[in-house]
Structure 1
């Protein structure tokens, strides 16, 4: 059905009843306040308006029906009685609507705003200059109520105040009340603007300047006046305390062949957790200074997904030590382990590394960085200056090929990770990387690993395998303190 064929009944809109509005301003937007000012300036009986405002604040106005020329609602009294109340406002004539559309089409700011479903406040003044009054004036609001009042009563006044709340939500309600819904108005505006835009295009193609008197151009005064057309940004949303729960797929119907319902539920939970983290990061004051997330490989992304359980929204820098690890249930965990290219029993260490340091923490676990001699020298210098004389623990380079000698000092070097004979236990199965810079505290089960970003990562041996126990730190003494604390016998698991 075209816009011109729509009847008033087709254009009617119904709005649900609003809750009480105690303790706050009744209208919060420019349009809501402008409606109230017009209502109160034209009122003959201020006492009835005050009663109506009280009824509306108490939530006594039921669902409101808005259609061209009329608003209707049932309003309750405090004794429980209900009254149907109507307020009539003159519909604009077709000639007035033509003038309104012509005025809006002649101003680029109005065209852009209206097509973007926005009604700038100065639209009222510009419409008035074209002889079209949008807001009601003296005597324009005509009440009808079954309570028998001849003029505005508390019921019709409450309905008028309730309309201010509707205008807060959608100022196009005022245009509907004046006779045109949003679709009819925008259809007319687009029909009016399209020929002008086409003429501009033909003029540009021919090299002939367009006639600026047709409304195709915008003079400086109009452009400057449109500076307030853009509404202020809304307040940032409140960050929920935890991710939302996805819908359960455990239904009476079996999933289609090839569909893993458990994996889908897990992915939905992981997506919710990541969305919460991204929202939290976006609302941080220093968000603009944060680096972009690097693109992950499939192996890294499988570890990231596994790391979403059970503490997806916890920052790795504030996790307790040692980090509790809880992986998804089988078979999802097995599929993630396979995608990460590691046995399922090693996925827990990879999850810890990801939670403590993301892709960089995982790279340190896997030994993906092959240091050059300059990196080793920098690491040695950091160890030499991190402790005061006499306080430095006995450290030695771990891994095969580290050389022999006394363990009382600090030895530097690089190698493929620890192996048989390099210290307590053997991690030759889990340390598959070909390059790293590592030092182990003599006679203990803790180790420091030096990463490509210059941070030191604390590790401890657990059941013959090395696992991260904390985030990286640029100070090796801090990282070693974390590692020793995690390896203490009384550290909770």
Structure 2
């Protein structure tokens, strides 16, 4: 029996047609009726044709399988068990297919018609006739009737005409080629033909006059003066809160920042923020959030910015403290140890001793209090940045205000007697 799930480009199975009485022509298209004419003109017994048409109209033909050169179906007759019916049709050889494909690709209307499930007479009846003539259909049936054709084979032929009505590629499959392979080959040939035609007949230049010739010698009106820049970037609109929507406070923060950057670019022609890395910009945005401490909204903002930069909210919180302490230079002091040249760094320890402070331990650009709770870091900008940690925890956080004097950087976080 038919197995639709096994269909390929060279094997198609169609479900059985329901019962449908007809009046006049059995098929609806000219090529479907040409198929019926080939059946009826090659038949030896008109009565068997009448019985076969009746079987087709009553829905006695089961699912139909079409392969190159064959139409196969089971047809129910007078006995309980259906008969196996096959109708054969000669397939085209490679030479015939080359002629057919050349003819189809020569006229774009042929390809358009096939895509619309139409079969132009000029293509079907051209150099390579596609439709069968009288006697070309070869029926075979498992019934004992030796008529040509028997009523079961006639029923299958009539129903095949309905398949051709719906899809002329069924006829092309019967002749040996599947739809996908045919369309691919037609597309290739059509593209090749179009490229060759473009090379042989390049498009003529369009008539006209060059704009430079038209505008030559004309006085151009001066451009209007640019509008004065606004004094400030104004305030963004108020964003309402919506269930499941973005945080309106975060939207306001981002809109305010974007407006300030646009205003600076308009006034100065320079946007320093564009030079920042993704991480630096995330730190800048978080540091620009007004207020101190983490609220529910701040936590959401920190989590979002940290995730986008591939860091943790704790990393971002520490970086925000460094940014608020010294901007990009302060962030660099937090994250980038370096080896300063001789000079300012070497003079720092005597200055600290002169202020009655203990001897700080040097390491690269850092001076650490002996108790391990305070640290001074020299930035590349020449400022000293104070850091604080629990003794021995190595958990350093920026504190105070940067200063060119190491003693001054420490006094910003408390009195020297406390240190």
TM class by smaller structure: 0.3 to 0.5
| TM-score, normalization by structure 1 | 0.38
| TM-score, normalization by structure 2 | 0.44
